[in-house]
Structure 1
Amino acid sequence: MKKHFTLLLMLISFWSFSQIAMSSGTQTNRWTFGGGLGVGFGSNSYFNLQVSPRVGYKITDQLEGGIIGNVSWQTSDYYKSTMFGVGPFANYYFARSFFVGANLQQYFINSKEKFSGYKYNTDETALYIGGGYMQSLGNNAFAQFGIMYNVLWKERSSIFSSGFIPSVGFVVGL
């Protein structure tokens, strides 16, 4: 039930963001909206659903700052976990097709092993720096594709398997 409710909320928010972009014929609004959605499958009944909403403000035509959130649900035959993240971001856009950016995230992770009942709660800070390419979708909406690296990542102490992450999402209002 929670998964269906979350999916419904995501679809409603994506639809509202697209309506905002279509209804604003003039570019006087400096607010931007968007985010990303990820789904993963694997062995041992592994399933992952991730939602990353974002709200930004165009400081200049090329510089945007804002806040981004992250919620991830994972489950497998052996464990289940929930991860929440939140933090500020900044993007610099150039040539209307490329961007560089930074994103500071504070993650809170709750995990539980299914057989032993062992619970594990922790938190981790990540500072992602990277960039990528933007494809116009029309009406000031863009798909964004890039790669980011967590400069705070340490192999032995991080909950993440790598410092690199792909960056795929959309933004309305640029």
Structure 2
Amino acid sequence: MKKTFLTLSILCSLSLFSQVSVGTPTSEVNRWTFGGGIGLGFGSNSAFYLQASPRVGYRLTDDLEAGVVGSVSWQTSNYYKSTMLGVGPFANYYFARSFYVGANLQQYFINYKDKFYNYKVNEQETALYLGGGYMQRIGGNSFMQLGLMYNVLWKENSSVFSSGLVPNIGFVVGL
């Protein structure tokens, strides 16, 4: 199971996450942001991975945003099948329009079935991701984000995830 999650973590790390926010920073009328990300991966033994992570946020100030993010992923191969749901709050702080720092608390609900041994697991895990990165303006209110997050609650032998480190690439519109 650890090898499966290692492979899937690598695929997740390489997947492209996009984040779209709606509104302008000076708009007092609409401070809500919406967005999310998707991931797709393929591997050996007919492995397939699909992930979606919708989010909704609210700009507390022009530089501080807080909200809720969810995630759902489906994984399957010749040997296993897994579904993972996650939900939790997030906060991002943007500064100098070139950098950001963020925190994201996720509660994951994992359903795993080994097809070969007919072994089933239902478990939960909490992750607290802290990190940040660089933002490059790509036009108007649009930015590309290059960042790195680390799950500070990750433990090597007791986590379903193979690593606590999660690199990401994203796009933000409306900051």
Please report the TM-score for the alignment, with normalisation by the length of structure 2.
Answer: 0.80
Deviation at 1:115, TM superposition (A): 2.3
What does residue 70 of structure 1 align with? Answer: 71
Distance of 1:163 and 1:128 partners within structure 2: 8
Inter-CA distance 35–135: structure 2 relative to 1 (3 Å threshold):
farther
SS at structure 2 position matched to 1:35: strand
Q: Is the CA contact (8 Å cut-off) linking 1:37 and 1:52 kept in structure 2?
A: yes
What does residue 48 of structure 1 align with? Answer: 49
Q: Is the CA contact (8 Å cut-off) linking 1:31 and 1:57 kept in structure 2?
A: yes
Distance of 2:75 and 2:27 partners within structure 1: 39
- Unmatched 5+ stretches in structure 2: 1-17
How do 1:14-25 and structure 2 match up within 5 A? Answer: none
Distance of 2:52 and 2:131 partners within structure 1: 20
Larger relative contact order, structure 1 or 2 (CA cutoff 8 Å, min sep 6):
2
Answering whether residue 80 of structure 2 is matched by residue 57 of structure 1, we say: no
What does residue 144 of structure 1 align with? Answer: 145
Distance of 2:85 and 2:143 partners within structure 1: 25
What does residue 114 of structure 1 align with? Answer: 115
Distance of 1:106 and 1:123 partners within structure 2: 7
One-letter code aligned to 2:85: F
Distance of 1:92 and 1:51 partners within structure 2: 23
- Aligned residue pairs total 156
Q: Is the CA contact (8 Å cut-off) linking 1:134 and 1:144 kept in structure 2?
A: yes
SS at structure 1 position matched to 2:88: strand
Give the % identical residues.
72
Deviation at 1:139, TM superposition (A): 4.9
Inter-CA distance 100–147: structure 2 relative to 1 (3 Å threshold):
same
Distance of 2:49 and 2:140 partners within structure 1: 32
What does residue 15 of structure 2 align with? Answer: none
Distance of 1:148 and 1:47 partners within structure 2: 24
- Unmatched 5+ stretches in structure 1: 1-13
Deviation at 1:77, TM superposition (A): 1.2
- 102-111 or 40-49, larger mean C-alpha shift: 40-49
Please report the TM-score for the alignment, with normalisation by the length of structure 1.
Answer: 0.81
What does residue 7 of structure 1 align with? Answer: none
What does residue 135 of structure 2 align with? Answer: 134
What does residue 164 of structure 2 align with? Answer: 163
What does residue 154 of structure 1 align with? Answer: 155
Distance of 1:154 and 1:45 partners within structure 2: 29
What does residue 125 of structure 1 align with? Answer: 126
Instruction: Provide the aligned C-alpha RMSD in A.
Output: 2.2
Deviation at 1:140, TM superposition (A): 2.9
One-letter code aligned to 1:145: L
Deviation at 1:69, TM superposition (A): 0.6
